[in-house]
Chains A and B, each alone.
Chain A
C-alpha cells in the first residue's frame, strides 16, 4: 500500500530503515538540501501506512526514495537518477521500479521535457542492473574508475569493483533514439569525461 509523496527535510530524521542499508549512501546534509532546493519535485519518497499495535495508531514508514535531478544542454538535456533505494522490508514489490517510472513520468513532459534519463550503477550490482534493464535502460558506456580513488586513471584499468555503467533510457522527445546505443558495454570513458556543464 504505497503512496508517493514529496520528500521533506524532516524526513531525514526518519530514514534509518532505508539508509542503514550498506548499499545505500548516506550523504552529507548539504547534498540532500541541494536536491531539495534545486529539484524539489524530483526528490520524493514512497511511504507505507503501518499500524502501531502498541499505541493503536496509524503511522507511516518510509519505504524508499528517489533523488533525481536534471542537467545538460541541447541533446544532452536529461534527468539523472542520483539515488534510488528501498527499505529491505519492502523489497521485491516493484517499489524501485515505481520510483524510477515516476521520475520518467515527471520529466518526460513539461516543465522538464528531457531527452533521456540516466544513472550510474556499479558493474557488480547485478541486482540493480537487472532492475534497470527490465525498465528499459541499457548501458551507454562504462566509466572506468568511477568508484575508485586513482587520481590518474586510464581506460585500460578496467576493474569491476570500481567501474560503473552509465545506463540510459531514451524518452519520447528523443525521437531518433540518439541518446542510447547498442554496444555501450564496449565503450569506455574516464570519470572526468562525463561533464554536462
Chain B
C-alpha cells in the first residue's frame, strides 16, 4: 500500500485538484487492481467529485458483500474509508451492518467492536452506537462487564428516544432494563438514572417513581442527584399524585430549607389540588428570613392568583415591591402579573408605584436637588419608568407621548448620573450602571414610535456617549451593533463585536451581527472578511470535534449519564448550525460577486462540504423547516405556575431531528432583556438588515448555489434532483413566509433563476408554446422589475445611505454577473436550444437576451453617470446637515448634556466609514 500516494490523493481532493486525484487513483489501481483500498478510493472520488452517490455506494457495497474481502476490510484505514463513503452517501444506517458482517467471522474481536463504538460516537450515529455497545458488553468480562452493561443499557434508552420505529421503541427500553437487571444492585445515582429513564420509556411510570422514592427514603436530600429529584416531581405531577408532591415539597422546603422556586411551585400546585386551606397559614408562619425571600414573596403572589383573591394579590404584590422594588429583577418578575387581565394595573401603577413610591421618594423635588443617591433608589426609579410605560403604552408610542416620556427618562437619567454615578465611578470597574437602561428604553421607544435615519443616528451618538463612561456595558454594545448595521457601518460593528471579546460558542450565537447579508452589504475583503469573519469562522473548524468526542466518550467512562443526551444534542446542533452554513453561503456569494477571483478554499474544505450541503438541503424532513433553540419555551399559556423540572432551557425534541436540518442557534433576544423589553420587539423588523432569514431562505440560497455549478440536464439524475428540491421548497412555501425572509431583490433573483430553469426544462421536453410563452413573459417581468428598481438607486431617491441601498446595488450587480455566466454555460451545454434556428429563439432573444443586455446597460449607465458619486455627495450633504442641527438644536442631546464636540466627533467617524462604503461600492 502506498501511503504517500494515498495521502497525496486526499491532499489533491482537499485542495480542489480533482485531476491530480483522479490520476493518482488510476495509477494506484493500475498497479494493484484488486486492492480494496484503491477501489474504495475510486468510490470516494465518485462521491466527492462526481457527486455520484449511488454509484459510490453501490460499488462499495459490492466490495462488502464479498467475504473474501473481509481481511482487507478489517484494516481500520480501509474500513474508515468504506464507512465514510456510506455515511456521506446518506447510508449511515448501513454502518452497523458492515460491522455485523465483519464480526460474523470474528465475533470476539474486541478491538473491532471498540472501533465500532468510537466510530459511531464520532459520527453521532446513535443507532449504530447502541448496537456497538450491546456487542461490547457481550465480549467484556469481569471488571469491565458492569460498566459496559451500563453503557449498553443507557444506549438502549438513547436509541429509543431517537427512534421512529414503533417496534424498536417498545422493545429497546425493555432490553435495556433486562440488561440492567444483570448488574443489579445499582450503585450510584447515575446508574439509577438509567433505570428511571428506561422505566419511563417503557411507560412504567409508577415503578420509576418507586425507584426514586426508595432513594429519597434512604439518602440525605443533599446527597441525591438533583436530576432524579426533579424527574420524581415531574412524574408525580404527570400521575396526579398531589399528596406525595405535597409531602415531599413540604419536607424539602421546610425541613431541608431548600428554598427553590420549582419546589415552591409544586408545593402550591399540590395545595391547590388538594384544597389545602393551610397554605396561607403556612406561608404566614414561615420564619422571617424566608418570608422576605424572593421565591416566597412570588409564591405568595401566585397564591393570590390561584385562589382568585384580589386582596391577596394586592397585598402580596405590595409586599414583594417593598423588598424587591429596588432590584433590577422587579420588572421581569412582575410583568407576567401586570399583563394578566385579572390584575388591577391602575391600582399597581397609580396607587402603589406613583402614590406610595414616587411620593416616598419625593421625586419631583428630589430630581432637581443635588443629594447623593443610592443604588436602591436609582434602581427603583428605573423600574418605575418601565412600569409606567406599560400603563400607557399606546399614548407613549404616539408622537407627543413618546417625546414626553423620553424627556422624563432623560431627567431621571441625569439625576442618577449626577447623584449616584459620579460618586461611584469605581463601580463600573466590576458592575453595571442600571441608569443606562433609561436610555435603552428611550431608544426602544423612539425608534418604535418614530423611526427615521435621523433618529437612528441620534441613538448612535447617545449610546456612544454611554460607552464613554460605561465602556463594558454589553447590552449597550449589542444595541449599538444593531444601529451600525442598519446604517451599513460594518467596520464599526466589527470593532464593537471585537470589544466584547466574543469567542468560542458565542461565535455561533452572535456572529449573525456580522454575517447577516454581508455579501450584499459589505463584501470587503481586507477590513472585514479576512480580518474578522474568517477568523470567527475558524470556530467551526473540524479539529475541535475530536476533542469534544473525547469528552463525550468520557461521559461514558466516568458514568456521567445524565449529561449524554444533551451532549449529543449540542453536537448535532453545532454540526448543523444555521450560522455556520449561512456564513459560508455568504462567502460563496462573495465568490460569485467577484466572479471567482476570491476563493475561500480553506473554509470550504472543512465546513462547506458539498455532500453535507446537499444532504442539508435536500433531505425531506428539512423541507418543513425546524426551529431550534431560540425561543424554546414551555407552552403553559396563561398559567401562573411554570415548571421546568427537567432543567432544560432548550426544550427540544429528539436530537436526530437536527441531523440533517439546520439548527438555528442564533441569539436575537439578549439585548431585549433590557429596557421595556420584548413588548417592543417588532422594532427588529425596522432595524434589522433585511427580514430575518430562516430555513427556506438558506435552503433556497444554497440550492441555487449548487445548481449554478453546472447546467441542469433534467434527466432525473444528478443536479436535476437538486432542482426538484429547490422547486418543492419554492412551491410549498407560502408567499407570506417567503416575504418574511427575503428582501425584494433577493426574491427577484430566486424567481429569475427558477423561471429560467423551468424554461430550459420546458424547452427540453418540448412543452407547448403557451407554457413557454408564459415562462418567457414571467422572466421578462422579473427583469423589468430588477432594472426598474436598480434605476431608482440615484441621488434623487436616496438620502442617507443605509444597508438597503448597498444591498440592492450589490445584489443586482452580482445577479447580472452570475446570471450572465450561467446563461452562457447553458448556451454552451445545450447549443440546440439556444440556436437561432430553434423555434423559440425569438422569444428567448426578446425576453432573456435583450433584457440581460438592458440590465448590463443599466449598470453601465450608472457608472457612466457617476451615480454613486452623486449619491455619496448627497449623503455627505445630508450628514453635514444632520450634524449641524444635532450639534446645536437636538433636544435629547442637549438635555443629556452631550457636548457638541462629542457629537461632531461621532459624525466625523461615521462620515469616514461612509467613504469606505462608497469605495467598496465603486469596486463592485
The reply on B66 being an interface residue by CB < 8 A is no
- Does the CB pair B563–A48 fall under 8 Å? no
The answer for the CA separation of A91 and B68 in the assembled complex, in Å, is 68
- Does the CB pair A13–B573 fall under 8 Å? yes
The reply on A182 being an interface residue by CB < 8 A is no
- Does the CB pair A29–B504 fall under 8 Å? yes
- Does the CB pair B505–A8 fall under 8 Å? no
The reply on A111 being an interface residue by CB < 8 A is yes
Of chain A, the residue at the smallest CB distance from B566 is A8
Within 8 A of A (CB), among B239-291: 260-264
- Does the CB pair A13–B508 fall under 8 Å? yes
- Does the CB pair A60–B552 fall under 8 Å? no
The reply on A184 being an interface residue by CB < 8 A is no
The reply on B601 being an interface residue by CB < 8 A is no
The answer for the CA separation of A51 and B431 in the assembled complex, in Å, is 26
Q: Which residues of B contact A83 (CB under 8 A)?
A: none
Main secondary structure of the interface of A (DSSP, over half): mixed
Q: Which residues of A contact B552 (CB under 8 A)?
A: 33, 37
The answer for the CA separation of A134 and B678 in the assembled complex, in Å, is 36
State how many residues of chain A have any CB contact under 8 Å with chain B. Answer: 66
Q: Which of B188, B430, B558, B677 has its CB near the most chain A CB atoms (within 10 A)?
A: B430
The reply on A49 being an interface residue by CB < 8 A is yes
The answer for the CA separation of A161 and B547 in the assembled complex, in Å, is 33
Q: Which residues of A contact B430 (CB under 8 A)?
A: 23, 125-128
- Does the CB pair B504–A28 fall under 8 Å? yes
The reply on B183 being an interface residue by CB < 8 A is no
The answer for the CA separation of A6 and B646 in the assembled complex, in Å, is 8
- Does the CB pair A105–B642 fall under 8 Å? no
- Does the CB pair B222–A109 fall under 8 Å? yes
Q: Which residues of B contact A128 (CB under 8 A)?
A: 430
Q: Which residues of B contact A123 (CB under 8 A)?
A: none
The answer for the CA separation of A139 and B550 in the assembled complex, in Å, is 36
The answer for the CA separation of A20 and B670 in the assembled complex, in Å, is 10
The answer for the CA separation of A14 and B444 in the assembled complex, in Å, is 23
The reply on A21 being an interface residue by CB < 8 A is yes
- Does the CB pair B637–A2 fall under 8 Å? no
The answer for the CA separation of A128 and B638 in the assembled complex, in Å, is 39
The answer for the CA separation of A126 and B554 in the assembled complex, in Å, is 37
Given the known inter-chain contacts A1-B333, A41-B226, A60-B644, please indicate yes or no for A16 contacting B506, CB distance below 8 A. yes
User: Which of B188, B227, B551 is within 8 Å of A33, CB to CB?
Assistant: B551
The answer for the CA separation of A194 and B332 in the assembled complex, in Å, is 43
- Does the CB pair A55–B261 fall under 8 Å? no
- Does the CB pair B223–A111 fall under 8 Å? yes
Within 8 A of B (CB), among A119-135: 125-128
Q: CB-CB contacts of B318-339 with A at 8 A, as 1s and 0s? A: 0000000001110011011001
- Does the CB pair B573–A59 fall under 8 Å? no
Given the known inter-chain contacts A20-B500, A58-B633, please indicate yes or no for A91 contacting B647, CB distance below 8 A. no
Q: Which of B298, B504, B509, B679 has its CB near the most chain A CB atoms (within 10 A)?
A: B504
Q: CB-CB contacts of B661-700 with A at 8 A, as 1s and 0s? A: 0000101001001100111010000000000000000000
User: Nearest Cβ distance between residue B696 and chain A, in whole angstroms?
Assistant: 21
The answer for the CA separation of A133 and B631 in the assembled complex, in Å, is 39
- Does the CB pair B294–A12 fall under 8 Å? no
Of chain B, the residue at the smallest CB distance from A11 is B649
The answer for the CA separation of A48 and B334 in the assembled complex, in Å, is 12
User: Nearest Cβ distance between residue B233 and chain A, in whole angstroms?
Assistant: 11
The answer for the CA separation of A60 and B225 in the assembled complex, in Å, is 22
The answer for the CA separation of A12 and B670 in the assembled complex, in Å, is 14
The reply on A196 being an interface residue by CB < 8 A is no
Of chain A, the residue at the smallest CB distance from B329 is A90
- Does the CB pair A37–B566 fall under 8 Å? no
- Does the CB pair B332–A50 fall under 8 Å? yes
Of chain B, the residue at the smallest CB distance from A52 is B678
State how many residues of chain B have any CB contact under 8 Å with chain A. Answer: 89
User: Which of A30, A47, A55, A109 is within 8 Å of B631, CB to CB?
Assistant: A55
The answer for the CA separation of A17 and B328 in the assembled complex, in Å, is 14
Given the known inter-chain contacts A13-B508, A56-B638, A57-B633, please indicate yes or no for A37 contacting B555, CB distance below 8 A. yes
The answer for the CA separation of A40 and B227 in the assembled complex, in Å, is 10
User: Nearest Cβ distance between residue A160 and chain B, in whole angstroms?
Assistant: 12
User: Nearest Cβ distance between residue B245 and chain A, in whole angstroms?
Assistant: 15
Q: CB-CB contacts of A71-87 with B at 8 A, as 1s and 0s? A: 00000000000000000
- Does the CB pair B560–A91 fall under 8 Å? no
Given the known inter-chain contacts A16-B670, A36-B567, please indicate yes or no for A53 contacting B649, CB distance below 8 A. no
User: Nearest Cβ distance between residue B695 and chain A, in whole angstroms?
Assistant: 17
User: Which of B332, B644, B667 is within 8 Å of A47, CB to CB?
Assistant: B644
The answer for the CA separation of A165 and B560 in the assembled complex, in Å, is 32
Within 8 A of A (CB), among B466-494: 472, 474, 478
Q: Which of B295, B329, B681 has its CB near the most chain A CB atoms (within 10 A)?
A: B329
Given the known inter-chain contacts A13-B508, A41-B225, A48-B332, please indicate yes or no for A91 contacting B431, CB distance below 8 A. yes
Of chain B, the residue at the smallest CB distance from A16 is B670
User: Which of B190, B375, B637 is within 8 Å of A56, CB to CB?
Assistant: B637
Given the known inter-chain contacts A8-B647, A16-B667, please indicate yes or no for A93 contacting B679, CB distance below 8 A. no
- Does the CB pair B569–A10 fall under 8 Å? yes
Of chain B, the residue at the smallest CB distance from A113 is B223
Q: CB-CB contacts of B426-441 with A at 8 A, as 1s and 0s? A: 0000111000000000
The answer for the CA separation of A127 and B375 in the assembled complex, in Å, is 15
The reply on A44 being an interface residue by CB < 8 A is yes
User: Nearest Cβ distance between residue A141 and chain B, in whole angstroms?
Assistant: 23
- Does the CB pair A3–B551 fall under 8 Å? no
- Does the CB pair B648–A19 fall under 8 Å? no
User: Nearest Cβ distance between residue A174 and chain B, in whole angstroms?
Assistant: 18
- The 5 lowest CB-CB distance pairs between A and B, nearest first, are A5-B647, A51-B336, A9-B570, A58-B642, A8-B566
Give the A-binding residues of B (Cβ under 8 A): 188, 190, 220, 222-223, 225-227, 230, 260-264, 294-295, 298-299, 327-329, 332-333, 335-336, 339, 375, 430-432, 472, 474, 478, 500-506, 508-510, 544, 547-548, 550-552, 554-555, 558, 560, 562-563, 566-567, 569-571, 573, 629, 631-639, 642, 644-650, 652, 665, 667, 670, 673-674, 677-679, 681
Knowing that A12-B570, A109-B220 touch, tell me 11 more A-B residue pairs with CB under 8 angstroms.
Answer: A1-B298, A8-B566, A8-B647, A14-B667, A36-B567, A40-B560, A52-B631, A58-B636, A60-B644, A89-B329, A90-B329
Give the B-binding residues of A (Cβ under 8 A): 1-6, 8-17, 19-23, 26-30, 33-34, 36-38, 40-41, 44-45, 47-62, 88-93, 105-106, 109-111, 125-128
Question: Can you show 12 pairs from A to B with CB atoms below 8 A apart?
Answer: A3-B647, A6-B647, A13-B509, A13-B667, A16-B510, A36-B567, A40-B555, A53-B679, A54-B678, A90-B329, A106-B222, A110-B223
